[in-house]
Amino acid sequence: MRAVLALSSLIYALAAACPLVKRQDLPIEDYENAVAAGSGSVVGPAAGDAASESVSLYDPTVVASEIAAQVTESPAVITANVKRAVVCTTRTYNGPHVSSPADSAEAFQAFQAFTDAAIAAAKASAVPSGYALVPGFVNKKATAQDPSYLTYLSSKLSNYNPAHCATFCNSLNGCTGFNIFNERVPLIVSSTTQVPDKNVCPGLATSPSATLIKCAFYGMPLLVSTATNVGQFQGKFKVVVAGSNAYIRSLAPSLDRYEGPVSFGNASINAPAPVVDHGYLRTQTFGANVPYDPNLCAASCEAQTVYNAAHGTKRGQACVFFNSYILYKNGTNGVFTCAYYSTPYGVAYAKNKGQFDKDGNKFTIGQSYGYYADGSYVP
């Protein structure tokens, strides 16, 4: 169960309510709302196969139409529940069984073949085309946790191969990267829950293991600081991870009806003050479980144009340009953000590299791109 979408238009309200605001600030007030909106989300794949493998709940068409409808309204939440029935079974697996020098968590994490494969897969020549290695996220003994988690693959993988994960990520809506790893799980599990059953097939310290090779997919670019899930106990059986690498996909797709993307690096647009007189329309932060997807900004920009024209809002100005970026607090917990304009600004205006709030937290920008409605591009 996860909330799919939550967005905040507080800044829009603020900007409308305070015409005296001069400088274009980062949406710091909205940031906490966006993080909170993602806080109930699943942050990574369940150990074993306890959750469905390849179902993505992120549908950009649905989310974009919700966003368009919510240009002035409150957020929507979509939830889904899955229930299944219970029998012990020998689980399927796709990785080598580690039994030497023992079938133990320690032997699993020390298994040389896992280390060798992870290090080989981090070499530039092995990084899938269109992807980059997440700096420092190589051969970790932990998996990523992030509210933008989408889904995972295991049974369809025949070996530890980032290229297979990349191919799947390329076809998965909202996927901006993945984490590939080996997971030590119990061999005998309840067929319904895919974890040991304390009555019928309990998890013991000595229970035989199996290895699952998995890729887990995320909607926001992973940072090495997200490598925090070191495993768990299932009964007394120790689930652990080895050879965990992460990769990030090139984030800025080209969009129909827009020119660009133009990279603004780690800076957002700073429109001239007073911003309300210089084409600034609003800034929108998305719940931390919403993928980085400029399609959502485009849907919102277009809906804003229609709304402004119909209601005379913002002097009826059309949205012709938007800046999509990630807003980080102290370098972590990024939230997807879009700023909208009726005046197109080029890279020379991408000057906001961050700011502090009154408590000393530093807000910074990453993955900043400009998109211009056809015919509006300015260098």
- Residue 225 tokens read as 């600081």
Task: Name the burial class of residue 356, with classes exposed (0-12), middle (13-18) and buried (19+) by CB atoms within 10 angstroms of its CB.
Answer: exposed
Distance between CA atoms of 274 and 271, rounded to whole angstroms? 8
Q: Which is nearer to ligand NAG, 17 or 124 (CB)?
A: 124
DSSP 373: E
Q: Which is nearer to ligand NAG, 134 or 189 (CB)?
A: 134
Cβ atoms of residues 260 and 254 within 8 Å: yes
Q: Which is nearer to ligand NAG, 360 or 375 (CB)?
A: 360
Q: Which is nearer to ligand NAG, 130 or 136 (CB)?
A: 136
Distance between CA atoms of 165 and 174, rounded to whole angstroms? 14
| Cα dihedral: 118, 123, 128, 130 (round 10) | 130
Distance between CA atoms of 114 and 118, rounded to whole angstroms? 6
Cβ atoms of residues 211 and 182 within 8 Å: yes
Task: Please state the closest distance from residue 265 (CB atom) to ligand NAG, in A.
Answer: 3
Helix H or strand E segment including 259 = strand 258-265
Q: Which is nearer to ligand NAG, 302 or 357 (CB)?
A: 357
Chain positions contacting ligand NAG, by CB under 6 A: 265-266, 330, 360-362, 366
Task: Please state the closest distance from residue 133 (CB atom) to ligand NAG, in A.
Answer: 12
- Coil/strand/helix, residue 174: coil
Helix H or strand E segment including 114 = helix 112-122
Task: Please state the closest distance from residue 353 (CB atom) to ligand NAG, in A.
Answer: 9
Task: Name the burial class of residue 127, with classes exposed (0-12), middle (13-18) and buried (19+) by CB atoms within 10 angstroms of its CB.
Answer: middle
Residue of closest CB approach to ligand NAG: 265
Distance between CA atoms of 208 and 206, rounded to whole angstroms? 6
Task: Please state the closest distance from residue 375 (CB atom) to ligand NAG, in A.
Answer: 28
Distance between CA atoms of 96 and 152, rounded to whole angstroms? 19
Helix H or strand E segment including 300 = helix 294-311
Beta bridge partners of 371: 322
Q: Which is nearer to ligand NAG, 43 or 195 (CB)?
A: 43
Q: Which is nearer to ligand NAG, 83 or 358 (CB)?
A: 358
Q: Which is nearer to ligand NAG, 253 or 331 (CB)?
A: 331
- Tell whether omega for the bond before 261 is within 30 degrees of 0, i.e. cis: yes
Task: Please state the closest distance from residue 359 (CB atom) to ligand NAG, in A.
Answer: 6
Task: Please state the closest distance from residue 350 (CB atom) to ligand NAG, in A.
Answer: 10
Helix H or strand E segment including 370 = strand 362-373
Task: Please state the closest distance from residue 329 (CB atom) to ligand NAG, in A.
Answer: 6
Q: Which is nearer to ligand NAG, 360 or 379 (CB)?
A: 360
